Chain A
Amino acid sequence: MINKNFFFKGYRSIFTHDSPAIALTCCFIAIGALFKNLGFNIQESIFSTVLTYALPGSLVMAESMLIGASLLNIFLAVWIVNARLYPMAVSLFPLMMHRSQPKWKYYFSCHFIAISAWLIMKSNYKNIPKKHRIDYWIGIGSATVSVSVIGTFLGFSFSEYLNKDMMLGLAILNPVYFLCMMIGASKTIPVTLSVLLGTILGPIIYLLSPEWSILIAGIIGGTLAYLVGEHSVS
């Protein structure tokens, strides 16, 4: 089944000095408070965090419900926002594929693809034998989902104590943490350029197409960075 040593090694990654635990907890505290304001109960809030486990998608669902959007509209809006998970999965799973591991592990654990877990795995996979990377990944994913559930519970329970300034503080924390993680991960020319171009193009393209800006910026910026990287190697 799952190798316990590597699973718990992955799980413990949430307790390291550069752990996303604080950022994740704070974000999901904000989400928990938002769910309560939307009329969710505690079961629905935790159900949503566990099943969706993607912050932008949860925000889109919340906004769509506020304006009374149909289920089809919610599906399309969330799918567009979370389409970024596709290239994230394709750029991670080949690093973990091993013949000896059953496929269900990959299909099940793809649910853990999110920025925090993805960046932890990307920075640590070289230290883990390829055969056990999937178990390590399941450990990371379980840890980040656990933290998210705790955050949602705290946010839901203490929403009346969270004033506007505190909510603002919680909201800025997430992009700042991920921005630092992305800069920290920029160790090669293609990755550095990808981060730089994505940062510049994302807001510019947003002015032209808010819905598709992230995907278009990702495709243009990523392709340019890849071509420059290939050119510099050759």
Chain B
Amino acid sequence: MSANIVYAILVTSLATFLSRFLGALTSEGIKETSKLFKWFNCLAYATLAALIARTIIFPAGVLVDASYSSRFLVVLLSLVIFFISKKNFVYPTIFSAICMAIINNYI
């Protein structure tokens, strides 16, 4: 293994584990009925929602190659499938991949 790549992986995993470990450590004194827990629960959901929205609107990686309109259209149609299928997670997920490949190729 290349030393540079191994160091980069180790540094990445350390930076990632730090947040997880500090979270586990500080949650020892927090009761699940406390206000602090409820606040952190809201923070977690809002942070995840922000991350997902950012991934769709300001993506990194290959998604940059898809236009805004195609990304919006795929997400919108997938949500329609989600509600039509009585909130099944798998159908809209598979649909989104196929739909994105088709839209990007033909439209």
Interfacial residues, chain A to chain B (CB-CB below 8 A): 17-20, 22-23, 26, 30, 34, 39-41, 43-44, 47-48, 51-54, 56-61, 63-65, 71, 74-76, 78-79, 82-95, 97, 106-107, 110-111, 113, 115, 118, 164-185, 190-191, 193-203, 205-206, 210, 213-215, 217-223, 225-226, 229-230
Contact = CB atoms under 8 A, between A and B. Distances in A.
A44 B2 contact: yes
B17 to A, nearest CB: 6
Given A94-B37, A198-B49, A169 B23 contact: no
A168 B23 contact: no
Nearest to B89: A18
A171 B63 contact: yes
B30 interface: yes
Contacts of A34: 61
A200 to B, nearest CB: 8
A201 B63 contact: no
Contact of A84 (B27, B48, B90): B48
A18 B90 contact: yes
B31 A61 contact: no
A197 B93 contact: no
Contact of A93 (B6, B24, B42, B58): B24
B50 A201 contact: yes
Contact of A172 (B2, B12, B60, B96): B96
B84 interface: no
A202 B54 contact: yes
What does DSSP make chain A's interface, helix, strand, loop or mixed? helix
B74 A176 contact: yes
B41 A223 contact: no
A111 B17 contact: yes
B92 A180 contact: yes
Nearest to A53: B16
Contacts of A53: 16
Contact of A203 (B40, B58, B78): B58
A172 B50 contact: no
Nearest to A21: B90
Contact of B75 (A26, A43, A176): A176
A183 B40 CA distance: 18
Contact of B51 (A84, A169, A181): A84
Interface in B2-46: 2, 5-28, 30-32, 34-35, 37-46
A203 to B, nearest CB: 4
A52 B46 contact: no
Interface in B50-88: 50-63, 65-66, 71, 74-75, 78-79, 82, 87-88
Q: Which of B28, B48, B92, B94 has the most CB of A within 10 A?
A: B48
Contacts of A43: 1
Nearest to B36: A90
Contacts of B39: 222-223, 226
